[in-house]
Homo-oligomer: A and B are copies of this chain.
C-alpha cells in the first residue's frame, strides 16, 4: 500500500467520486473538474489534497485494493473447510462482479497508463502478487500438493474470469468449477 488515504471529509468524498467515475468511464476520459463537481468540492481542494491527477489515480486504486482485500479476508475467515477456503476468492468474485461489471480496475488502469513508473503499475502488481500469495498460503494450509504451481494456476483462472467479465459469456461459473476441481485433485483425501 503506502498510499496513505486522506483523512479529511472532502478528501474521502473525492476518492469516492473518483472510484466510481474512473472505473465506470475510464481514467483518461474523466477530468478532474468532473470529479470535483461530483464530490461537491472545488478543484482547488482536490489539488490541495492530492497534488496531481496521477496521485489521485493512485489513491483511487489503493482504496479499491483495500476494499477488495478486506472483502476477501472476511470471506476467508468465515470459511471453515480448509479445502473450500482455497477457492474463496472465486466466490467473492461472484458477489464483487455483480456491481463491478467493467472488469478488473487494475488491468484497465494499466491499459490506460503505459508508463511503468506510474504508481498504478506497482499497485496492480502488488494486488496480483498478494492474491497469488494468498492462494499459496491457503493451498498449503489445506495440505495441497504443489501449492506454488496451484496458486499460479488459480490466479490465471481468476484473472481470466475477471477479464472476460465485460463479454457476454458466463466464464465465471466455469472457471470457479475448474478451480475447485484443481484444488480437490491436489488436496489430501478426506479422513
Q: Is the beta-carbon distance between B152 and A156 smaller than 8 angstroms?
A: no
> Does A124 sit at the interface, judged by CB under 8 A?
yes
- Chain B hits for A186, CB < 8 A: none
Q: Is the beta-carbon distance between A112 and B28 smaller than 8 angstroms?
A: yes
Cα of A56 to Cα of B116 in the assembled complex, Å: 27
Contact of A160 among B112, B158, B168 (CB under 8 A): B158
Cα of A149 to Cα of B177 in the assembled complex, Å: 11
Chain A positions 155 through 167: 1 when the CB is less than 8 Å from some CB of chain B, otherwise 0: 1111111111011
> Does A3 sit at the interface, judged by CB under 8 A?
no
Q: How far is the CB of A65 from chain B (nearest CB, A)?
A: 14
Q: Is the beta-carbon distance between B157 and A114 smaller than 8 angstroms?
A: no
Known: A132-B169, A169-B132. A114 touches B25 (CB 8 A): yes
Q: How far is the CB of A64 from chain B (nearest CB, A)?
A: 14
Contact of A24 among B104, B113, B114, B162 (CB under 8 A): B114
Chain B: CB-nearest residue to A115: B25
- Chain B hits for A175, CB < 8 A: 153, 156
Q: How far is the CB of A133 from chain B (nearest CB, A)?
A: 11
Cα of A113 to Cα of B102 in the assembled complex, Å: 10
Contact of A112 among B29, B125, B129, B152 (CB under 8 A): B29
Known: A28-B26, A111-B112, A114-B102. A155 touches B166 (CB 8 A): no
Q: How far is the CB of A189 from chain B (nearest CB, A)?
A: 19
Interface positions of A from 123 to 181, Cβ below 8 Å from B = 124-125, 128-129, 132, 149, 152-153, 155-164, 166-169, 171, 174-175, 178
